[in-house]
Chains A and B, each alone.
Chain A
Amino acid sequence: MPPLSAPALDCFSPSPPRSGKLVSVPTGVALLEATGLRKSYGSHLVLDGVSLAVSAGEIVGLLGPNGAGKTTTLSLLATLIEPDSGTVRIAGAIPSRRHRALRRRLGFVPQAIALYPSLSGFRNLELFARLHGISRLKARSESMRVLEEVGLAERAHDPVAVLSGGMQRRLNLACGLVHRPDLLLLDEPTVGVDPQSREQILQTVRRAAEAGAAVVFSTHYMEEVERICGRALLIDRGKAVAAGTIAELIALGGGLPLMELTFQDPAPPAWCDGLAGITQVAAPRNHGKIALQLESFALVSSILERARAAGAHVLEFHVHSPNLSDAFIALTGHALRDPIASSH
C-alpha cells in the first residue's frame, strides 16, 4: 500500500457542540476560527498556513510531535503573538490587545507551570480570577470550586512550590478554568504527570467542554486525543497534515493493524520482499526501527519468521490496531514522539 497523501484540510469545519451552553455564540457556530495562520521568526518558518475551528463544547486536539508548531499555534490563538498572516476570530471578532472583554473569555493553560511558586494555589487562582474581572467574593468561591474540581481542595493553601509536579499541573489547569472561559487553550497540560493526575486533568477538561467551553487540546500523546477529542488537527513541522474526526484521521492512516519492529542492526535490504499483505509505511529509521501495515494480524508470525531467516535480530516488536499515531506516521513518515529534525 502506498503511503497516504495529506488530505485536504479545508473540510476542517466545526461540528455541533456535544453539550453545554454559550452565552454569545450560537450553538453550532465556531467560537474559535483561525485561518491560514503563518508565523516565522526571522527566516525560520514556524507555522505555515494552519487553520482551525472550534465550536462551543467541542474539544479539538492539536496533535504533533515536539517542535511541530503546537505552542506557536496556541500562542496565536491566545493572541499572545501576532500572526504574520492569517486571522484568528473568537466569537466572530478578531481579538486585539485592547479587546479586553474578548480576551477574558479565553482560558489559557501554558505548557509551563505558570503559577507563582511562593503563593498558595488558592491565592494563584484568586489572582487570575480577579484579573479576569471576577469580583473578590466570587473569585474566592470559584477558586475553591475549581480546586475541588482538580482534587486540590485540601492543598488549597499550600505554596505551589511544595506541591508535586502532578498537582502543579492540575493547578495550572485550574488557573485556566477558574473564570469559566468560553475558549480553553491547553498546551500539553499533561506533560510529565503521573497517570492519576493525567486522568484527573482529562476529566476536568472534559467537564469544561461539557459545560460549554470550546477547547483546544495540544498534546503529543495520541491516546489523550483519542480519548477526549472529537476532532483533531495533526500538525507537523508547522504545517497541518490532516484534520478531522478521530475516526477520519485513523482512516487516513489506512485503517489496518500496524507492526513496529526494532532490529538490533539495520535490517538487510529486501528482507521482507515477497511477503504478501504488508506495506512498509515508514522508511527504516535510526535504531533499526521500521513500521509495517498489515492486512491481517495473522501475518505477524510470517514477518518474524522472515526476519529471522534474513539474519535480522529483532529486539522488539509491537502490533496494534490502527490509531492516530499510525495515521501520523502514515502521513508524515515519522512517529509522533520522534524528535523533530534539526532542519526544523
Chain B
Amino acid sequence: MLRTIALTFLNEFRLLVQDRVGLFMLLLAPLVIIAVAGFSLGNLYGARMTAHTYTLPLVDDDHGAVARAIAAALADESAVTVVRVANLDRARVIVSDRDRAPLAIVIPAGTTADLAAGRDAHILLYVDPIKRLEISAIEFRIADLCRRVTAGAQAEVRARLADGSADLRARLSRISADLEALHSGIADYQRQLTNARSSAEGQLQTQIRRQMRSTIDALRAQTQAAVQRSVEQARATITSQLAARRDAISAVTIYLVALQASERDFDRWFTALKAAAGSHAGAIPPPPAFPPPPTPAALAELAKPIDLAFTAPPIPIPAASNAVPAGAITIKLPPPPPALPVPQLRADLEALAPPALPVIPGTLGWTERPVSGANANVNSFDQYVPGFGITFLLIGMLLGISLGLIDERDWGTLARLRVSGAPLSGTLIGKLLARFVVGLLQMVVLFAIGYALFGVSLGRSPAMLLMPAAAISFAAAAFGLIIACVARTHDSVMPFGTVVAMTMSAIGGCWWPLDFEPWWMRDFAQFLPTTWTMLAFNNLMIRDLPPISALWPSLATITLGIVFLAVGLFGASRLYD
C-alpha cells in the first residue's frame, strides 16, 4: 500500500514536470491575474494616481464670485484642467467623448446671489456614471472646494459680524460707562437730596419748634394773662360772694359759737341739774331753750351756691399765632442736580438701534446629475451582466475555438477537410461563424436573464445591444484563432486561453469600471475589443445614450476583430495548412 502511494506520488510529479506548460501556467496564470487586478484596483486602495490630468468642462452661468472662486481653486489643482465652455450641451459632448473627463461642472445662474442671500446653493455636476472612481475623486475635491467657498463667505460675514460686535461692544461699553456715570450722579444727587432733606427737615423742625415755642410762649403768656384776668375776675366775684357767705357764715358761726356755749352751759346745767335733782332729776324741768337758729334766709344764703359762672373774658390770641411770620422759617434748597450724561447716553442708545445685520451666507453644495440624462445610481448588474457575459463569452470562444481546432488537428478531421479541397480559411471562418452565432445567442440570453432577474437596463433601443454583442462575438472568435496558433496543445490552451480571456476582460473594464485602472493600463486597454464593447454597452445601458453611441465602439471592436482574424488566419495557414 505504502509503496503504491509512494510510487504514485513520484509518478505524479514526473507527469507534472513533463507538463511544462501546465507547470508554467500554475505560476504565470495567477501572476498575470494578480498583476492585472493589483494594478487595476490599486487606485481603490490609495495608490498614487499618475500624472495625467482630468479635463473638467466648466459652464459658468453664475458669473459671480462663487464661480470665480471655484474656477480659481480648480485652476490650482494640478490634476485638473478646467475647460470653460459656453453651455451644458458642449460640456456633455466633452464628458461623453473624452475618457479623462469624468464630469462637467455647471454653476447655475444666481449661485452667488443665493449664497449671499443666505440660501443654500448647489453647483451641478453632470457625471458620467461609468467613471465612478474619477467622479468620486473629483467630487472629493469639489466637496472640499464647496466647503472652502462656503467657509470663506461665512468667514467674511463672521469678520463683519465680529467688527459689528466689537463696535457694539464699544458702544455698549460707552453706554455702560454713561449709565455708570448716570447712576453715580443720581446716587450723588440722591445723597445730596437726602442730605438736603435731612437738613431741611432739621431746619424746619428747629424753625417750627422755635416758632411753635415762641407762639406757644406767646399764647401761654396771653392765656396766662387771660386766665389771670379771669382768675382775678373770678376771684373778685368769689371774694364778693364769699364775703356775703362769710357774713352769713360769721352769723352762723356766732350762733354756732353761742350755741356751742349754750350747749356747754346746758350741759353743765343739765349736769348740775341732774346732779341736784338727785332722785328727782326726772322731775327736773326741761332744759333751757337754745338760741334760735339762723334764719332761713341766712341759711338759704349759706345754701345758696356760689355762682361760679362767670363769663371768662376772651383770651386774646396773639396775632402771631395765626401765621408764621414771614422769614420765620427758611429752608436751604439742595444743590442743583449734577450734569448727567443723558445726551450722550441718548445718542449712544440711538446708535444702538439694531444695525443692518449681515446675512449669513448659505451653504454651497453640489448635486450630481447624469450627463446623459440617465439614472445616476447605476444598477451594478448593468456593469456585471455585460462584463461577465463578455468574460465568459471570451473564455468560451478562446477555449472553444482553439480546443476545437486542436481537436480537429489531432483527430485528423482537419486534414480530411483540407484534402476535401475545402480551403482552410473557409473551414476556419465557418468554425468562427458558428462560434460567433453561439456567442451572440449567449449574450442575448444573458441580457434577457439579466433583464428578468436583475432589472438591467436595456437602453433606449434593446435591439441595439445586438451590435456590440455581435462585435465582441466576432472579435472573440477571431482572437480564439490566434490562441489556437499560439497555444498548440490542450494542456497549454486551457491555462493560456483562460488567462488571456480573464486579462482582456479585467483590463477591458468588464470586471470593474475602466476608471479604476491606472492610465497606462487604460491606454493599453484601447487595443482590446473588450474595452470598446464595454464602452458600447455602457453607453447604451448605463449612460442611456442614443443607439448611435454604440456604433463607433462597435466598429472599433469589429476593426480589432478583423485584425485578429487576419493574424489568426495567417498563423493558422502557417500552422495548419
Contacts and interface: CB of A to CB of B under 8 A. Distances in A.
A103 B421 contact: yes
A320 B547 CA distance: 83
B410 interface: yes
A104 interface: yes
A100 interface: yes
Interface string B397-412: 0000000000000111
Interface string A50-77: 0000000000000000000000000100
Contacts of B577: 97
A132 B418 contact: no
A54 B359 CA distance: 109
Contacts of B412: 110-114
Interface in A121-149: 128, 131-133
Given A113-B411, A115-B411, A116-B411, A78 B421 contact: no
B308 interface: no
Nearest to B424: A97
B421 A100 contact: yes
Contacts, number: 61
A176 to B, nearest CB: 8
Given A108-B416, A175-B416, A114 B421 contact: no
A131 B420 contact: yes
B411 A78 contact: no
A79 B413 contact: no
Nearest to B577: A97
Given A97-B577, A112-B410, A80 B421 contact: no
B420 A103 contact: yes
B411 A80 contact: no
Q: What size tier do the contact residues of chain A reach? A: 20 to 34
Interface in B416-445: 416-423
B415 interface: yes
Contact residue range for chain B?
10 to 19
A106 B419 contact: yes
B488 to A, nearest CB: 16
Contacts of A102: 421
Contacts of A100: 421-423
Given A97-B577, A116-B411, A117-B411, A110 B420 contact: no
Contacts of B419: 78-80, 103, 106-108, 185
A19 B161 CA distance: 121
Contacts of A98: 423
A11 interface: no
Contacts of B421: 99-104, 106, 131-133
Given A80-B418, A131-B417, A112 B423 contact: no
Given A97-B577, A108-B416, A131 B411 contact: no
Contacts of B411: 112-117
A117 to B, nearest CB: 7
A293 B318 CA distance: 206
A115 B418 contact: no
B420 A115 contact: no
Contacts of A104: 420-421
A97 B423 contact: yes
Nearest to A98: B423
A108 B412 CA distance: 10
B416 A114 contact: yes
B351 to A, nearest CB: 103
Contacts of A97: 423, 577
Contact of A116 (B413, B415, B423): B413
A110 B415 contact: yes
Contact of A114 (B415, B422, B423): B415
A25 to B, nearest CB: 18
5 contacts: A80-B419, A101-B421, A112-B412, A114-B415, A128-B417
Interface of B: 410-413, 415-423, 577
